[in-house]
Chain A
Amino acid sequence: MSESENNHAGTSDPFEPLRAIRDKYLDAMAKSMVETVNSESYAQATGAMLEGYLTSTAPLREAMDKSMTQALQQMSLPSRQEVAALAERFTHVEMRLDDMDAKLDRIVQALRSEGHGASPEAEQAAAGGAAAEQEKKRTGPASRPGARGRLVRNRGAARKRS
């Protein structure tokens, strides 16, 4: 039996007789709630609640951030901001690579128009493969099939060298 077939109950609903009353009640409640959330007073109330929450939690957030930064510093670990800054730099590097990729595409196109480029199918496969490889690098060695195998082989090579 498939998952979707398994998902249905196949029993009668004991609340069936009450369904009409429930639906009528929900309809009335829905209309009234839509009016409520569309009102100026609702906007004012939710705004005040959010403001209160942000104001009351701000000192706690600041204290947490400060102590966390100090703790990470003592353990010689980078802070969240430092990791974020690093990630930003990675993005800039990626953009430079993308610019180079664009230039390469133009060169390939020019070569193709002169009659000695690779076939469009081969280029498409290469383009897709490059992006997939880039994605694998992002996800890290743990999620890469074969990464462990390479690591073991490298260790073996290191042992031989030593």
Chain B
Amino acid sequence: MDQVVAVDGVAGLAKRLQVFTRVVTTKAAIAQTPKQLVWALNKAKLYRYTPVLPAEKRYRIPLLLIFAIMNRPSILDLRPGHSFVEFMVSQGYDVYLLDWGVPGLEDKEMKLDDYAIEYLPRAIRKVKAMAGVEEFSLLGWCIGALLTTIYAALRSDEGLRNLLLLTAPLDFSNREGLTFARWTDERYFDVEKVLAAFGNMPGEMIDYGAKALKPVENYIGNYCKLWDNLDDPRVVESWQAMNTWVTDNVPLAGGAYRQLIVELYRKNRLMKNELMVRGERVDLGKIRANLLTVIAEADHITPPCQSESIMAKVGSQDKELYRIPGGHIGIMAGSAAPRTTWPHIERWLSARSR
């Protein structure tokens, strides 16, 4: 009898290991919402998601999504049935996504300036031309929120009606609360030497930096979660989709990385209204668009202290700070997002998109 139990146990373990290995080593099908490429410049591509509602039932103001420059934007359209893009399209929004692409050696001098006021305005022009309207909404997430903030401050007269900032790293004054600031302190970290060696900041190093903030959770706990839930197809599917996104690393253009470390993490220039972008001073007071700032209360990558203070600096009359339990990515891609973050964003935008 004991022998039978032992054999069953070994067979079960072998099966679990087989499934575990398959899930960890294969890619899930992500970013499946139908879309059309409408504009491209260098590595950047602008997509328009195919509307599912007739024109008369759709909102007039188009929504442009901007994600970080060192990750794939597919997190916004993770998997069918659990996709922010799919949700917004089904609610009647004309949704566009700007994919920054993967910078090559030739892009190593690209700065935040280029992204915020060279590429972004061109993509916006295309969105406006396609939608046939002069106004638009911008949703920026993580570094994408930093870029949209810079754009909103410098180009406040170009039709930006609604600005949504998700986990936006804008204020770097609380150095005690920012682990990245400690790691990249000029006493320990020579940014010029790193960029001289690599040109662009390698995606693997950025990924290591993000994971090392919570090493046990990311390198062990994450896999334990999968092992414990191998019998639950919903958890397995969601885990694999997230793992597919997390392991697809993108390098960060050298010039933008240098600015991020030197001018923001070390000198906090944006919040002091001292950041210069192509000779123009970024004055946050010039932001006049309706503003929704979403903060993830348990965000260890962009702690709440980095996003709160912008509320007092902007010139917007209509502004809201929305706090939500969850982490940097979890608030938009976690299992609770379709019940919490997405409907809140949709309600806020709905009232301002007619």
A binds B: yes
Complex interface residues of chain B between 53 and 78 (CB less than 8 A to chain A): none
Q: Is A8 touching B220 in the complex (CB atoms < 8 A)?
A: no
Q: Is B130 touching A95 in the complex (CB atoms < 8 A)?
A: no
Interface residues on chain B, size class:
35 or more
A156 to chain B, nearest CB (A): 32
A2 to chain B, nearest CB (A): 9
Q: Is B19 touching A7 in the complex (CB atoms < 8 A)?
A: yes
CA distance A129 to B12 in the complex (A): 53
Does B48 belong to the interface (CB within 8 Å)? Answer: yes
Chain A residues near B36 (CB-CB < 8 A): 128, 132
Q: Is B130 touching A80 in the complex (CB atoms < 8 A)?
A: no
Q: Is A26 touching B221 in the complex (CB atoms < 8 A)?
A: yes
Q: Is B106 touching A88 in the complex (CB atoms < 8 A)?
A: yes
B83 to chain A, nearest CB (A): 15
CA distance A51 to B188 in the complex (A): 9
CA distance A63 to B42 in the complex (A): 31
Residue picked from A11, A12, A50, A120, most chain B C-beta under 10 Å? A11
Q: Is A58 touching B197 in the complex (CB atoms < 8 A)?
A: yes
CA distance A12 to B221 in the complex (A): 20
Taking a contact as CB atoms closer than 8 A, the residue among A14, A40, A81, A128 that contacts B182 in the complex is A40
List the A residue with the shortest CB-CB distance to B198.
Answer: A54
Segment at the A interface, from B157-165, B224-232, B267-275, B276-284:
B224-232
CA distance A94 to B228 in the complex (A): 51
Does A155 belong to the interface (CB within 8 Å)? Answer: no
Complex interface residues of chain A between 47 and 75 (CB less than 8 A to chain B): 47-48, 50-51, 54, 57-58, 61
Chain A residues near B104 (CB-CB < 8 A): 84, 87
Does B41 belong to the interface (CB within 8 Å)? Answer: yes
Chain A residues near B11 (CB-CB < 8 A): 11
Q: Is B15 touching A29 in the complex (CB atoms < 8 A)?
A: no
Chain B residues near A83 (CB-CB < 8 A): 106
Q: Is B231 touching A131 in the complex (CB atoms < 8 A)?
A: no
Q: Is A9 touching B16 in the complex (CB atoms < 8 A)?
A: yes
A66 to chain B, nearest CB (A): 15
Q: Is B37 touching A9 in the complex (CB atoms < 8 A)?
A: no
Q: For chain B, what secondary structure do more than half of its interface residues adopt (helix, strand, loop), or is it mixed?
A: helix
Chain B residues near A15 (CB-CB < 8 A): 227
Complex interface residues of chain A between 132 and 148 (CB less than 8 A to chain B): 132, 134-135, 138
Q: Is B227 touching A8 in the complex (CB atoms < 8 A)?
A: no
Q: Is B194 touching A7 in the complex (CB atoms < 8 A)?
A: no
CA distance A43 to B209 in the complex (A): 11
CA distance A116 to B216 in the complex (A): 65
**A: number of interface residues (CB 8 Å):** 58
Q: For chain A, what secondary structure do more than half of its interface residues adopt (helix, strand, loop), or is it mixed?
A: helix
Does B324 belong to the interface (CB within 8 Å)? Answer: no
Does B13 belong to the interface (CB within 8 Å)? Answer: yes
Chain A residues near B13 (CB-CB < 8 A): 11, 14
Q: Is A4 touching B237 in the complex (CB atoms < 8 A)?
A: yes
Q: Is B37 touching A135 in the complex (CB atoms < 8 A)?
A: yes
CA distance A71 to B214 in the complex (A): 45
With known contacts A8-B230, A29-B216, A127–B185 Cβ distance under 8 A: no
Segment at the A interface, from B121-129, B135-143, B247-255:
B121-129
Q: Is B106 touching A47 in the complex (CB atoms < 8 A)?
A: no
List the A residue with the shortest CB-CB distance to B182.
Answer: A43
Q: Is B224 touching A12 in the complex (CB atoms < 8 A)?
A: no
Which 3 pairs of residues, A with B, have the shortest CB-CB distance? Answer: A47-B188, A11-B12, A30-B216
B interface list, Cβ under 8 A from A: 9, 11-13, 15-16, 19-20, 22-23, 36-42, 45-46, 48, 104-106, 118, 122, 125-126, 129-130, 132, 179, 182-183, 185, 187-190, 193-194, 197, 212-217, 220-221, 224, 227-228, 230-233, 236-237, 240
18 A–B contact pairs at CB < 8 A?
A: A7-B23, A9-B16, A14-B9, A29-B216, A33-B214, A34-B214, A37-B215, A46-B183, A47-B187, A50-B189, A54-B194, A81-B105, A91-B42, A95-B41, A102-B122, A105-B125, A131-B37, A135-B37
